[in-house]
A and B are shown apart, each in its own frame.
Chain A
Amino acid sequence: MTTSVQDTPTRRRSRPAASERRSPLAALVRWIALGATALVMLVPLYVLVISAFKPQEEIVRHPLEISPSTFTLEFLWNAITSSKFNVIAAYGITLLFVALVNLFCILLSAPVAYVIARGRRKWHMALLLLFVSGLFIPGQVTLIPVVFVLRVLGLINTIPGFILFETAATLPVTIFLFSAYLRTVPRDIDEAAALDGAGRIRIFWSCIFPIMRPVVATVVVLNSIGVWNDFVSPQIILGAGSGIYTVTTGVYAAVGEFSTDYTVVFPTLLLAIAPIVVFFIIMQRHIIGGLVAGATKG
């Protein structure tokens, strides 16, 4: 270590990077480790993308290469027009589910979080604890009795039944994040609005809810990724018989049977991951921030 007390001020800015303080050998080892890990992460994605544009033999023989002579859009087009898995419909249905779950989640969670955050009585705390206990109940455990409940309600294998379950699953984290955020919103706003004669419900939706934008964004990110990627709930609750496929259940239906025909597998997987990867690249900071907030506060 060659650092001395004098260079502290400049180091403060660059402390975490600090590679200039490392010996050349340490820096080399660091970059080799990072580079190797990056390759392990990226090569599978690279193979997935290029294999969507090659015939079976090329995929097996030359997994890492893509040559213009064998490049083809035929298999991607087959996957798009496949009768087993209607990708466009699956995108639409999954997006609809994402939108509906977000909408109902916010409509249900925001008012109750406001009541909890503003409440000073014991039952407000009890209400929060009730919802937070849901964080410790894994969805797989309640899935079987939920099937029973939905059967009693006549909602099994229906879209409303699925939306109901998915929305309920988002409540614990959402209510926790919302009420934590609302505690930081000053009561003065409520009081000013009350002075103006507005009722509580109206105060909430017109004065408080617009302030909640950042935490609503966090929740929308968490819910959207969760619903888009969920496989078990749509598979069980919607069921194969309903004919409604999300992206994940559609991929399972299309790829499950043909897992050795790579000209089906790779184009289908590419179509399935393309929207979420694009969404991730655009919304990266919000997604990472949202996941960190959801995990550490929840």
Chain B
Amino acid sequence: MLTDNVAPTALRERARDAGSRRPSARWGDRLAGVVMAAPAVIVFIAMFIVPMILAFVLSLTDWNGYSLRFDFIGFDNYRFAFRNPRTIDAAVFTAVIAVTGTILCNAVGLALAALISGPGRANTVLRTIFFYPYIISALIIGFLWSALLSPHGAVNGLLGTVGMAPVPFLTDPSFAKATVILTIVWAHFGFNMILYIAGIKSVPTEFYEAATVDGASRWQQFRSVTVPMIAPVVTVNLVLTLVGLLKVYDVVLALTDGGPAASTQTIVYQILKDSFAQSRLGLGAAQSVVLLVITAAIGLAVTFARRGAERKVTD
């Protein structure tokens, strides 16, 4: 604790004292630094670094998850995964989710951000309404839409009252795929919108004034002032959404449980099913390693590709 009323002489004395004790005080400081850093470093190594290495080691084994015994089986798990049509289908659907989901979330998010970035009560309320699903668990979002879109759900009930045939939202493979993607977009675009609004607000007003003086329309202002100025925010949004959607699982589990006919299984769904329902954690680990490599590659590629767009602004 700092004492408030230290006499000046006492202070000076202590300062001199600290100066004379410098070597040992420095040692004490260093020891304190190690003591302060060590717990976090240990936990991080145990839960991140060791598992990263273990993921690769386990991917070369037939570990079943229960015992601590396993045999090394070389690259059999990788070979199996790449030849398994289920895994390929899951990878393709995950890629479709990631690409279309990212485009839709960002297009809708940016468009709405441009419309309601201003101050005012109505805009604040609309932001809340568009954003709220993001803070609800994806599992619950999945169960909600599953109940609403099932053959006897609210949506088909309403279609029935206006004399329309029921739509197989969850029971036809193509419809189910579209339903999964649209549900994800419904729950996620609000987050992208919030980030875009933060970006738009940080653009200096002078830029718009200059553009208005030059006679630019609102659309021209948006295209030639807003979009280039928020290029870094666009990058963050694209990377976060793309990388996040590669890991989609909870919402699929609740919405379709991977069905109908396994048409909506994602890669993480496949990993967890192989690992825990089939007790083949070695196989799951192999697929995890592949997913990690793909995630890192895509994250880096998008960040790198966007550099050009970002640099234009700073030049």
Contact = CB atoms under 8 A, between A and B. Distances in A.
B123 interface: yes
A119 B54 contact: no
Interface in A208-257: 225, 228-232, 236, 247-248, 251-252, 255
Contacts, number: 283
Interface in B79-131: 112, 115-120, 123, 126-131
Nearest to A280: B135
Nearest to B28: A199
Interface in A93-117: 107-109, 111-112, 114-116
A277 B129 CA distance: 11
A236 B6 CA distance: 57
Query: Interface residues of B: mostly helix, strand, loop or mixed?
Result: helix
Interface stretch (A39-47, A70-78, A81-89, A180-188): A39-47
B264 interface: no
B36 A112 contact: yes
Given A142-B47, A228-B137, A295-B236, A200 B194 contact: no
A196 B48 contact: no
Contacts of A125: none
A44 B145 contact: yes
Interface residues of A, number: 112
B1 interface: yes
Interface string B41-85: 101101110111011001000010100100000000000000000
B126 A151 contact: no
B297 to A, nearest CB: 11
B301 interface: no
A80 interface: no
Given A16-B118, A34-B126, A292-B195, A195 B14 contact: yes
A136 B3 CA distance: 45
Contacts of A1: 212, 215, 217-218
B120 A17 contact: yes
Query: Interface residues of A: mostly helix, strand, loop or mixed?
Result: helix
Contacts of B201: 16
B136 A277 contact: yes
Nearest to A109: B40
Contacts of B139: 229, 231, 248, 251-252
B137 A142 contact: no
Contacts of A280: 132, 135
A193 interface: yes
Interface of B: 1-3, 6, 11, 14-15, 18, 28-29, 32-33, 35-37, 39-41, 43-44, 46-48, 50-52, 54-55, 58, 63, 65, 68, 112, 115-120, 123, 126-140, 143-148, 150, 152-155, 157-158, 186, 190-191, 194-195, 198, 200-201, 205, 208-209, 212-213, 215, 217-218, 233, 236, 240, 243, 246-247, 249-250, 253-254, 268, 271-272, 275-276, 281, 284-285, 288-289, 291-292, 295-296, 299
30 contacts: A15-B205, A17-B119, A34-B112, A41-B129, A44-B144, A47-B154, A63-B153, A111-B36, A127-B37, A136-B295, A140-B247, A141-B55, A144-B284, A148-B54, A151-B68, A168-B47, A198-B1, A204-B36, A225-B135, A229-B136, A231-B250, A248-B139, A251-B140, A251-B143, A252-B139, A259-B150, A269-B144, A276-B135, A287-B135, A288-B194
